[in-house]
Amino acid sequence: MKTKIKGFGTLAIHAGNLENETFGALATPIYQSSTFYFDSCETGGRRFAGEENGFIYTRLGNPTTSVLERKVAALENADDAVAFGSGMGAITACLWSIAALGKHIVADEALYGCTFAFLNHGITRYGVSVTFVDTSDLQAVRQALRPNTCCLYIETPANPNLKIEDIEELSKLVHSYNKDIMFVVDNTFATPCLTRPLDLGADVVVHSATKYLNGHGDVIAGFVCGRQDFINEVRMFGLKDMTGAVLDPFAAFLILRGLKTLELRVQRHCENAMQIAEFLDGHRKVAKVYFPGLKSHPGHEIAAKQMHGGFGGIISFEVRGGKEAGMRFVNELKLITIAVSLGDAETLIEHPASMTHSTYSPEELNAAGISEGLVRLSVGLENAVDIIDDLDQALRRV
């Protein structure tokens, strides 16, 4: 790169791009090739031995995907990043790379349902123990740490109840207990546009890039970002040997395309969400709104400190009358689409207890502060006034 560039929007467009691309293509080409030929047997051997740079096989690396990995690493201020074929591929490869027989993980109670499932009844089958605590309570985290604890795992804002945890304080706490504990933050909801966990003391960032990073609802993908030695381990063990959850080069191309507008999109998601949260908060048919931008949110002050430029685009809320009223309201929506996933241009709504978080038992939902009647709104890029009109007409019908 010729000039030193720092702005987030500039990095999202320029960081990591190929220099001296063969034909001078402006957009990164799609290297849709599973394998790469060697000019001799010896060259192949040297590449496998790590003695020579160059591509081997797309599960181990691909030119299109490498551009994307460098770009996402730059956005997260990480040494390096590995791309995956899904967020769950990234999360499981990350945790397989950290944990081992006899080790212990501390995780927050409120997590995306499949992450919870992996920690609750997946990795525990293989001799790893997991303690779920409310990680916004530092005392509870301190009490959960053990000599064999290898990882602290959180999402902030958390899916689906937008709970906020203090990344800086948690980092100080776990690293003063044991500097080798890997503090992993799922940054899917905040995106590096709003929060950079590694700058606040986390060791690893994971993403479902299916959401805001791609932003167009047409790709399933994930990332692990962190220090070089750990990323090498995630690539050569977590990805290559344990999950094989490689990202397809065409999907990498789509995410590169999406990232060009990440900053613009996130700004709009945040502005829309703030207006909509205020509308819902003042509506007599709404019992409770969970949005970190509202002063009434218990994590508001921490969110204001660690999220820069907005509070994200996800709002959860409870309609007066509980689950039945909530379901009736959702079914009355016209513009807003009933679908899981989030971070897309379209405003999406879902019911966590029966959909994204149906991996939790009723008792586990209760312990995690996810009520039966909670609905989760992923605020899209439409005009806020139209989203509000739709919410209003549906609320009037309840």
The yes-or-no answer on residue 229 being catalytic is: no
Distance CA 224, CA 207 (A): 7
The yes-or-no answer on residue 31 being catalytic is: no
Scored b (16 or more CB within 10 A) or e, 231-262 reads bebbbeebbbeebebbbbbebbbbbbebbbbb
Query: Looking at 47, 71, 196, 211, which residue is catalytic?
Result: 211
Residue 119 interacting with ligand LCS (CB under 6 A): no
Residue 313 interacting with ligand LCS (CB under 6 A): no
Distance CA 259, CA 273 (A): 20
> Smallest distance from the beta carbon of 211 to ligand LCS, in angstroms?
6
Residue 86 interacting with ligand LCS (CB under 6 A): yes
The yes-or-no answer on residue 305 being catalytic is: no
Query: Looking at 71, 108, 112, 163, which residue is catalytic?
Result: 112
> Smallest distance from the beta carbon of 342 to ligand LCS, in angstroms?
6
Distance CA 356, CA 133 (A): 20
DSSP character for 341? -
Residue 344 interacting with ligand LCS (CB under 6 A): no
In the complex with ligand LCS, the residue whose CB is nearer, 145 or 198, is 198
Which residue in 17, 129, 275, 341 binds ligand LCS (CB under 6 A)? 341
Q: Contacts with ligand LCS in 147-166 (CB under 6 A)?
A: 155, 159
CB 396: neighbour CB atoms within 10 A?
A: 11
CB 229: neighbour CB atoms within 10 A?
A: 9
> Smallest distance from the beta carbon of 53 to ligand LCS, in angstroms?
30
Residue 316 interacting with ligand LCS (CB under 6 A): no
Helices (H) and strands (E) in the chain, counts: 15, 12
Q: Contact, 263 vs 194, CB < 8 A?
A: no
In the complex with ligand LCS, the residue whose CB is nearer, 188 or 316, is 188
| Token output for 298 | 């218990």
In the complex with ligand LCS, the residue whose CB is nearer, 294 or 348, is 348
Task: Measure Cα distances from 365 to 231, 246, 373 in Å.
Answer: 33, 32, 11
Torsion of CA 53, 57, 59, 63, to 10 degrees: 60
Q: Contacts with ligand LCS in 229-268 (CB under 6 A)?
A: none
Nearest C-alpha neighbor of 112 from the set 187, 167, 199, 192:
187
Q: Contacts with ligand LCS in 353-372 (CB under 6 A)?
A: 356
Which residue in 65, 97, 115, 371 binds ligand LCS (CB under 6 A)? 115
In the complex with ligand LCS, the residue whose CB is nearer, 58 or 115, is 115
The yes-or-no answer on residue 112 being catalytic is: yes
Query: Looking at 108, 166, 186, 390, which residue is catalytic?
Result: 186
Scored b (16 or more CB within 10 A) or e, 62-94 reads bbbbbbbbbbbbbbbebebbbbbbbbbbbbbbb
Question: Binding-site residue total for ligand LCS (CB under 6 A)?
Answer: 19
Which positions lie near ligand LCS, rule CB under 6 A? 86-88, 91, 112, 114-115, 155, 159, 186, 188, 208, 210, 220, 222, 340-342, 356
Active site residues: 59, 112, 186, 211
